[in-house]
A and B are shown apart, each in its own frame.
Chain A
Amino acid sequence: MTRASLVFGALLTVLVPLSLLAGRVWIAPWADGPANAALILGELRLPRAMLAITIGAGLGAAGAAMQGYLRNPLADPGLFGIAPMAALGAVASFWLGAVIPPAFAAWALPVMALAGAGLGMALLALIAGRTSSDAAGGAGGGIALFTLAGLMLASLAGALTALAITLAPSPFALSEIVLWLNGALTDRSWREVAIAAPLVAAGIAVLALAARNLDALTLGEDAARSMGVEPRRLLALLVVGIGLTVGAGVAVAGIIGFVGLVVPHLVRPLTNRLPSSLIVPSALAGACLVLAADSIVRILPMVTELRLGIALSLIGAPFFGWLLLRMRRGQL
């Protein structure tokens, strides 16, 4: 257990009970709570907290892996275009809402979103086969070209999503889509936890497998290959790992940005700064960040709850600006 994992693990064990007690109805453990306290805890707050931890852990680990892979502290897992593809799948499910039998309707959104993420991964794998520079394959574009392919995928998915919104079948579907795209954890149940948790756990495990290979990239692609790293295998691990962590998160909570970008920066000063030392602590720190942010949006005195995705972007965008300033001063 590294120092960073201990710090963020301890923080998480403090945050979980706090998050369970906070909300529109405050539950004080030392006094008699409201009559439905057990229901609020077991059916509303506990699944919501678990979901926040799951999604945050996935985004944190994916961010650490992505920054290691691109050798760039400003990289975000969104760069692979998997989140927009998952969102596109989800938006498509709103379109299909009318034709899906009611029994499956509840599953349509997460399943379609996962299908979108899977399609994104498959397209990336197809592109990667043509761009990764392997000894056997000869010349290739390498990491930079692959990243541009991810951006292309992201813009395409974004454009199709925008198209789906403008052609929305009904005003009701339109507002549903727009609300859903700004990710949130409101009204989620154990069902979403059951969908996302195993996929995110598997994704983090896959990223952990890639960790030492990411360390080798510290000295560049040629040096990494000379140390025995196989670019195709590394890329496959990353596409699967990021696809599972990010895709599962979008499938149950919509788009939640900036977590993957911000979290590794909170973790890095506590580690030796190599990507392998960041993945697990970033998962823990991501869980802390999303859990804390979701608890705060829940207790803010607003008429309608501030969407978690919007709140995190409001924090994340200025943080990104601060990173840029630090980078300009050569402190990053």
Chain B
Amino acid sequence: MIADLSTTLEPGRITAIVGPNGAGKSSLLLGLAGLLAPASGTVTLGGDDIAGLHPRVRAQAIGYLPQAPDIAWDVAVEALVALGRLPWRDRGTDAIEAALDALSLQPLRRRPVSQLSGGERARVLLARVLAGEPRWILADEPLAALDLAHQLALTAHFTACAANGQGVVVVLHDLAIAMNHADRVLVLKDGRLIADGPPELALDPQVIAQGWGVKARWLGVRGAMALVAHSGPERANRVIE
């Protein structure tokens, strides 16, 4: 699905992976997490081939946040967050408390997950990853089901993680969030990297036209940009007319 992709990601930064539907964003993220083996080539972590790492060692280094997982059992928030310690096989009380603090979940810690709102649930799922104290956080569309306020709140948590020295890699649909909050953006189309760089360059209107087939321009000032699309792909136009 992904072809000819070679890149190096840095810790302490937010890297956004964007692209139209079916571009291979989630597959790339799974590959980076060591959960999907490339047909050829390697993914390395600090010089080690990730496929050769013991699964537990890999899990200690990389926290993976899947896209809106359904939670099989109606456990309490603290029990779910404590799952983050599984790669370490310890109780990790301090790390769990720190994760609950970081995402302001202390008041909810005994609440069953079935009684959480969408925003609370997203925070709990991220806290589970943070409890594992990974060097890398890989998140697949963590903002997809959230309203504007919760999107911003969760994005602020990712920014805090990056400031903390953790590498953050997120698949995003909302290009404005990538533009305003990422340090670097990878744009994928049909499994190929068509742009890679700081958001102003990687999300240039020309790249958006090439990737999404949409004429668009950015409005606003740096850090608070909005994307305005003028016309959709030609197909879509024809349907509308």
Which A positions have Cβ atoms within 8 angstroms of B?
Answer: 71-72, 135-136, 138, 212, 215-220, 222-223, 225-230, 272-275
| B80 lies within 8 A of chain A by Cβ | yes
Contact pattern, B 60-72, Cβ under 8 Å of A = 1, otherwise 0: 1011101001111
**Is B172 among interface residues, defined by CB-CB distance under 8 A?**
no
CB distance from B95 to the nearest CB of A (A): 14
Residue B51, interface by CB 8 Å = yes
Q: Out of B62, B74, B83, B86, which one reaches A273, CB within 8 Å?
A: B74
Looking at the complex, which one of B36, B51, B58, B69 makes contact with A219 (CB distance below 8 Å)?
B69
Known: A215-B83, A228-B58. A135 touches B36 (CB 8 A): yes
CB proximity of A281 to chain B, nearest CB, Å? 15
Distance (whole angstroms) from the CB of B80 to the closest CB of chain A: 7
Q: Is B102 an interface residue (CB 8 A)?
A: no
30 contacts between A and B (CB under 8 A): A72-B72, A135-B36, A135-B37, A215-B83, A215-B86, A216-B86, A217-B72, A218-B72, A218-B73, A218-B75, A218-B80, A219-B69, A219-B128, A223-B66, A226-B59, A226-B64, A227-B86, A227-B132, A228-B55, A228-B58, A228-B86, A230-B55, A272-B75, A272-B76, A273-B73, A273-B74, A273-B75, A273-B79, A274-B73, A274-B79
Q: Which residues of B contact A219 (CB under 8 A)?
A: 66, 69, 71-72, 83, 125, 128
B130 interface hit (Cβ, 8 Å): no
Q: How far is the CB of B119 from chain A (nearest CB, A)?
A: 18
B70 nearest in chain A by CB position: A220
For A231, the closest partner residue in chain B by CB is B55
Interface residue B35 (Cβ < 8 Å from any Cβ of A): yes
Instruction: Flag if A218 contacts B58 (CB, 8 Å).
Output: no
Grouping DSSP codes into helix (H, G, I), strand (E, B) and loop, the A interface class, with mixed when no group exceeds half, is loop
CB distance from A214 to the nearest CB of B (A): 10
Name the residue on B nearest A226 (C-beta). B64
A217–B86 Cα distance when bound, in Å, is: 11
B35 near A135 with CB under 8 A, answer: yes
Say whether B83 contacts A226, CB under 8 Å. no
Judged by a CB distance under 8 angstroms, whether B20 is at the interface is no
Contact present for A225 and B35 (CB under 8 Å): yes
Using CB atoms and an 8 Å cutoff, list the residues of chain B in contact with chain A: 30, 33-37, 39, 51, 54-56, 58-60, 62-64, 66, 69-76, 79-80, 83-84, 86-87, 89, 125, 128, 132
| B75 partner residues in chain A, CB cutoff 8 A | 218, 272-274
Contacts of A215 in B (CB 8 A): 83, 86
User: Beyond the given A138-B37, A219-B66, could you list 17 further A-B residue pairs with CB under 8 A, ordered by the A residue number?
Assistant: A71-B72, A135-B34, A136-B51, A215-B86, A216-B86, A220-B70, A223-B64, A223-B69, A225-B55, A227-B59, A228-B55, A228-B56, A228-B58, A229-B86, A272-B75, A274-B73, A274-B75
- Select from chain A the residue with minimum beta-carbon distance to B38: A138
Cα separation A230 to B59 with both chains bound (whole Å): 11
Question: In the complex, which residues of chain A have a beta carbon less than 8 angstroms from the beta carbon of B35?
Answer: 135, 222, 225-226
Q: How long is the Cα–Cα vector from A194 to B35 in the complex, in angstroms?
A: 44
Q: How far is the CA of A226 from the CA of B128 in the complex (A)?
A: 12
CA distance A217 to B83 in the complex (A): 10
Are B66 and A220 within 8 A (Cβ)? yes
Complex Cα spacing A229 to B89, Å: 12
A residues less than 8 Å from B79 (CB atoms): 272-274
Q: Who on chain A is nearest to B58 by CB? A: A228
Residue of A nearest to B67 (CB): A222
Residues on the A chain within 8 Å of B76, using CB: 272
Cross-chain contact A229 with B69 (CB below 8 angstroms):
no
Name the residue in A215, A217, A228, A273 with the highest tally of chain B Cβ atoms < 10 Å from its Cβ. Answer: A228
Cα of A225 to Cα of B55 in the assembled complex, Å:
8
Inter-chain CA distance A216–B79, complex, in Å, is 11
In the bound complex, do residue A135 and residue B83 qualify as a contact, i.e. CB atoms below 8 Å apart? no
Specify the chain B residue showing the minimal Cβ separation from A218: B72
Contacts of A220 in B (CB 8 A): 66, 69-70, 72
Give the chain A neighbours of B89 by CB distance below 8 A: 212
With A135-B35, A220-B66, A222-B30 as known contacts, state yes or no: A228 contacts B83, CB within 8 Å: no
Which of B33, B63, B75, B76 has the most C-beta atoms of chain A within 10 angstroms of its own C-beta?
Answer: B75
Give B80's nearest chain A residue, CB to CB. A218
Give the most central of A135, A138, A217, A273: most B CB within 10 Å. A135
Q: How far is the CA of A252 from the CA of B56 in the complex (A)?
A: 40
B63 contacts A216, C-beta separation under 8 Å:
no
A272: chain B residues at CB < 8 Å are 75-76, 79
Find the B residue at minimum CB distance from A134.
Answer: B37
Q: Given A218-B73, A222-B64, A228–B87 Cβ distance below 8 Å?
A: yes
User: Which 9 pairs, one residue from A and one from B, show the smallest C-beta to C-beta distance?
Assistant: A226-B64, A228-B59, A71-B72, A228-B56, A228-B55, A228-B87, A273-B73, A227-B86, A220-B69
